[in-house]
Chain A
Amino acid sequence: MQPLSKNLKNSIMITVNNLSKSYNNIEVLNIAELAIPKGQSFGLVGNNGAGKTTFFSLLLDLIRPTNGYITSNGVRVDASEDWKPFTSAFLDESFLIGYLTPEEYFYFIGKLRGQNKSDVNAFISQYEGFFNDEILGKRKFLRDLSKGNQKKVGLIGALIGAPEIVILDEPFANLDPTTQIRLKQLIKSETENTHTTFLISSHDLLHVTEVSERIVVLEKGQVIKDLHTNPETLKELESYFSEALDVN
């Protein structure tokens, strides 16, 4: 029997319509059609330059689409700002405010998402294990934390205020093995217990197949594969990426 939450995932959260992005007439992304249902954990894989970050940036309206558009929960992201209240993201360190301590950063994000200090405190206390005693209560500025610890702060910050869409670019990179495992558990439990739609890109095929219900492979801006994750998916992906080796 399927858990209850899965039954509610019929409606579509994100739709992509003839989307393309070019820089100086060189096309870096072209997705004719893509629909992501509510509550799905969606994995995006591809080599460098495949267009993963470009896609996420378009989704957050950080760059202008050359053609087409994305709608998020019925809102066209490049035409309205109404997608912002239910969307959160951590793409890179430019999503952190260097001169704040982790707590101050969480409170700030919390306030923007309608959470007061005690809400935020209750929320982050769940992740004490994830932070491994290196982040909270140290009064250190984010700019002085190691790359890995910065990432942890950014990832948890993206979950504050129960957003409906969470976009994470390369969340496993720079994390130590224990934290990688913890992060996988965290994403899995979030997708099982909430209706949050997760969009995750990764170079790590093993991790991404473990946490995603669906995997899309991008290559040179095109969708090459669109798979529902099953025990064979990892093998399929590995063989796909080693073929690229043989061709070269």
Chain B
Amino acid sequence: MGVGAYFIAEEVAPDVDPFVTVNNILILWIIADMLLRYFLQQLPVINVKPLMTLPVSRKRVIRFVMLKSVTSFFNILPLLLFIPFTIVLVFHDYNPIQTLVWFVGILSLSLSINFTNFLINKNNTYFYSLLSVVVISFALKYFGVFDLGFFAGLCFNALFDKPYLIFIPLTLVYMLYRANIKLLHDGFYLDDMVTQKVTLAQETDFSWLKRFGSLAPFLENDIKLISRNVRPRQVLFIAAVFLFYGLFFYTQDTYKDVPVILAFAAIFITGGFLLTFGQQVPSWDSQYYKLLMSQNIPYRQYLKAKWMLMVFGVLVSFVLSTPYIYFGWDIYAMIAAGAVFNIGLNSFVTLIGGALNRTPIVLNEKAKAFANTSGFNPTQLLIGLPKVFLPMILFYIPYKLINFEAGLISIAIGGFIGLAFRSYFLSLIEKIYLKGKYKTIAAFEQEP
């Protein structure tokens, strides 16, 4: 990709120096880097605890922790991107020394983000200010007031033209490094840094859940599970992102004539929560699975409660997707058909996939970057296929043979058939749970 960047830039804007083009969009990389690190990078502070009692001087421990953080994946990534790009530049007769200086500058910026990230300690204010900067600069660019990307591009070009400017990023990274060292040094006590902030429970009235009868205690627990733990909240975030998935497709004229692609998008718009939450059932309960397995809990009730929650997720997403009416009632009808399909069939298919997924989850920790690949296996992929392709097929055949509406009705009928077989599906999933009981318990006992 690093190699390709040069040629793509040349292709896109043949009149402009490709290097300048890249510099102009470099701000996007910086923002992406910030967001990625904010969400995914682990703080090094956590690693201090086991080292505290070792007979090593405090200074060395801190320096070790800081340097170790530099080797994180997020710092390797820019190397992977920019080393090839730099080499391409040199081969295209850019001044090697100036190019190298530019490369060091970009790297320093990335490292600065690395250290800033630790300083702000996943502070929400930082995230929202970052978000507003992005939104505002987009708005300013749109109204032609100020183009942040172009301005940043000027800075990066300047760095190349006047190599002595390298002192700015270098100083920045050094100062941030010192600030981190100081922070760690001052906070080198268990009670300051490592012990977590204790949040208190909010009193919430769940009596409205009573109408669900024997499912109520499980639903109440699941709502608490989602609202009080970091990992499940991330799922909510992803579900919200899925809501916007349709914008990719409905705004492009290319897809207007291939409505089967639109059917694909419709499934995702209302299915974000269902798919992401559902594929981790029962992993969400892995930390206390032994309790659930030895308590008086029928599998069916447990599963029904999870299913209700997923249905609820689809309904909420569907209500939130109302603005898609803007793209036409056809689109909205398709989203509705997709919602029915999600409720009736995808919910069960997802639960089957989840039952085979035995990866434990630490609820109150952010997902480690790329750590959830272990939760991915071929069986799950195979089970996942019908979730997307079945509605496409269900749509495509009647659409070709009859018309658009027939396609929609076909998708919805698929959902209703699933609902009719609800009890069959639940029994099937129950059997998978029973069959894998010991395996699941043993797997959930492993450290994730």
Q: Does B199 contact A (CB under 8 A)?
A: yes
Q: Does A131 contact B (CB under 8 A)?
A: no
Q: Which residues of A contact B438 (CB under 8 A)?
A: 62-64
**Contact between chains at A63 and B291 (CB < 8 Å):** no
Q: Does A140 contact B (CB under 8 A)?
A: yes
Q: Which residues of A contact B145 (CB under 8 A)?
A: none
Binds A, one of B160-168, B221-229, B373-381: B221-229
- Which one of B196, B203, B294 contacts A60 once the chains associate, using CB atoms below 8 Å? B294
Binary contact track A57-95/B, C-beta < 8 Å → 1, others 0? 000111110000000000000000100110111011011
A112 to B293, CA, bound (A): 12
A62 to B440, CA, bound (A): 10
Complex A-B, nearest 5 residue pairs according to Cβ-Cβ distance, in ascending order:
A99-B228, A111-B217, A95-B291, A139-B200, A60-B294
Q: Which residues of A contact B298 (CB under 8 A)?
A: 81
A112 to B203, CA, bound (A): 21
Q: Does B127 contact A (CB under 8 A)?
A: no
Q: Which residues of A contact B13 (CB under 8 A)?
A: none
Q: Does B402 contact A (CB under 8 A)?
A: no
Binary contact track B77-105/A, C-beta < 8 Å → 1, others 0? 00000000000000000000000000000
**Contact between chains at A98 and B363 (CB < 8 Å):** yes
Q: Does B289 contact A (CB under 8 A)?
A: yes
Q: Which residues of A contact B401 (CB under 8 A)?
A: none
Q: Does B288 contact A (CB under 8 A)?
A: yes
Which of B201, B217, B294 has the most chain A CB within a 10 Å cutoff? Answer: B294
Tell me the B325-383 residues at the A interface (CB within 8 Å): 363-364
A208 to B228, CA, bound (A): 38
- Which one of B288, B296, B363, B364 contacts A96 once the chains associate, using CB atoms below 8 Å? B288
Q: What are 8 A-B interface contacts by the 8 Å CB criterion?
A: A62-B290, A84-B295, A92-B290, A95-B294, A97-B291, A108-B221, A141-B199, A143-B364
**Contact between chains at A99 and B224 (CB < 8 Å):** yes
Q: How far is the CB of A65 from chain B (nearest CB, A)?
A: 10
Q: Which residues of B contact A162 (CB under 8 A)?
A: none
What bracket does the count of chain B residues touching chain A fall in? 20 to 34
Q: How far is the CB of B95 from chain A (nearest CB, A)?
A: 57
Q: Which residues of B contact A96 (CB under 8 A)?
A: 288, 291
Binary contact track A97-132/B, C-beta < 8 Å → 1, others 0? 111110010011101110000000000000000000
Q: Which residues of A contact B290 (CB under 8 A)?
A: 60, 62, 91-92, 94-95
Given A99-B229, A100-B221, A101-B201, CB of A94 within 8 Å of CB of B287: yes
Which of B201, B216, B220, B229 has the most chain A CB within a 10 Å cutoff? Answer: B201
A140 to B196, CA, bound (A): 13
Given A63-B438, A84-B296, A91-B290, CB of A104 within 8 Å of CB of B217: no
- Which one of A87, A99, A104, A112 contacts B363 once the chains associate, using CB atoms below 8 Å? A99
Q: How far is the CB of B216 from chain A (nearest CB, A)?
A: 8
A residues in contact (CB < 8 Å) with B = 60-64, 81, 84-85, 87-89, 91-92, 94-101, 104, 107-109, 111-113, 138-141, 143-144
B286 to A, closest residue via Cβ: A94
**Contact between chains at B291 and A100 (CB < 8 Å):** no
Q: Does B297 contact A (CB under 8 A)?
A: yes
A107 to B438, CA, bound (A): 27
Q: How far is the CB of B278 from chain A (nearest CB, A)?
A: 20
Q: Which residues of B contact A85 (CB under 8 A)?
A: 296
**Contact between chains at A140 and B364 (CB < 8 Å):** no
**Contact between chains at B296 and A112 (CB < 8 Å):** yes
- Which one of A89, A98, A101, A139 contacts B287 once the chains associate, using CB atoms below 8 Å? A98
Q: How far is the CB of A61 from chain B (nearest CB, A)?
A: 8
Q: Does B442 contact A (CB under 8 A)?
A: yes
A113 to B294, CA, bound (A): 12
Given A63-B438, A94-B287, CB of A84 within 8 Å of CB of B221: no
Given A63-B438, A97-B221, A98-B288, CB of A104 within 8 Å of CB of B201: yes
Q: Which residues of A contact B228 (CB under 8 A)?
A: 99, 141
Which of A81, A92, A95, A99 has the most chain B CB within a 10 Å cutoff? Answer: A99
Q: How far is the CB of A154 from chain B (nearest CB, A)?
A: 9
Q: Does B56 contact A (CB under 8 A)?
A: no
Q: Does B198 contact A (CB under 8 A)?
A: yes
A81 to B296, CA, bound (A): 8
A166 to B413, CA, bound (A): 50
Q: Does B441 contact A (CB under 8 A)?
A: yes
- Which one of B224, B288, B445 contacts A95 once the chains associate, using CB atoms below 8 Å? B288
Which of A64, A97, A101 has the most chain B CB within a 10 Å cutoff? Answer: A97
A50 to B298, CA, bound (A): 33
Binary contact track B208-223/A, C-beta < 8 Å → 1, others 0? 0000000011001100
- Which one of A92, A97, A113, A143 contacts B296 once the chains associate, using CB atoms below 8 Å? A113
A90 to B, closest residue via Cβ: B291
**Contact between chains at A62 and B293 (CB < 8 Å):** yes
A82 to B224, CA, bound (A): 29
Q: How far is the CB of B368 from chain A (nearest CB, A)?
A: 19
A109 to B, closest residue via Cβ: B295
Q: Which residues of B contact A94 (CB under 8 A)?
A: 287-291, 445
Q: How far is the CB of A60 from chain B (nearest CB, A)?
A: 4
Q: Which residues of A contact B198 (CB under 8 A)?
A: 140-141, 144
Q: Which residues of B contact A60 (CB under 8 A)?
A: 290, 293-294
Given A99-B228, A108-B217, CB of A63 within 8 Å of CB of B295: no
A112 to B298, CA, bound (A): 10
Q: Which residues of B contact A98 (CB under 8 A)?
A: 287-288, 363-364
**Contact between chains at A100 and B224 (CB < 8 Å):** yes
Q: How far is the CB of A162 from chain B (nearest CB, A)?
A: 13
A109 to B296, CA, bound (A): 9
A104 to B221, CA, bound (A): 9
Q: How far is the CB of A155 from chain B (nearest CB, A)?
A: 13
Q: Which residues of A contact B441 (CB under 8 A)?
A: 62-63
Q: Which residues of A contact B294 (CB under 8 A)?
A: 60-62, 84, 87-89, 95
B444 to A, closest residue via Cβ: A94
